[in-house]
Structure formats: structure tokens, C-alpha cells
């Protein structure tokens, strides 16, 4: 893998984690 691909994969993973975190926060807000 080139450095460019590694950076892209890292950015994608970060976006996915942030998306999951947002979803969890939404679910918690709904539960309250």
C-alpha cells in the first residue's frame, strides 16, 4: 500500500468511528 492509500484508509476509519459515535449519541438521547 502506498502512503496515500494508508492516509485514505485512516481518514475513512475515522469518519466511520465518528459516524458510529453520532449514532450512539442519538440512541442515548432517544432513550432519555
Q: Which three cell numbers stand for residue 14?
A: 475515522
What is the pLDDT at residue 32?
Answer: 84
In angstroms, the CA 7 to CA 13 distance is: 10
d(CA 21, CA 32): 17
pLDDT value of residue 13:
98
In a structure prediction context, what are the per-residue pLDDT tens digits for the chain, which is 32 residues long? 699 999 999 999 999 999 999 999 999 999 88
Contacts 24+ apart (CB under 8 A), 9-14: none
pLDDT of residue 12: 98
* pTM for the model: 0.62
- Domain definitions of the chain by residue range: 1-32
C-alpha 5/C-alpha 18 separation (Å) is: 20
The reported pLDDT for the residue numbered 1 is 64
Amino acid at each position: 500500500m502506498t502512503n496515500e492509500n494508508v492516509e485514505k484508509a485512516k481518514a475513512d476509519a475515522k469518519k466511520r468511528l465518528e459516524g458510529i459515535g453520532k449514532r450512539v449519541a442519538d440512541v442515548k438521547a432517544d432513550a432519555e
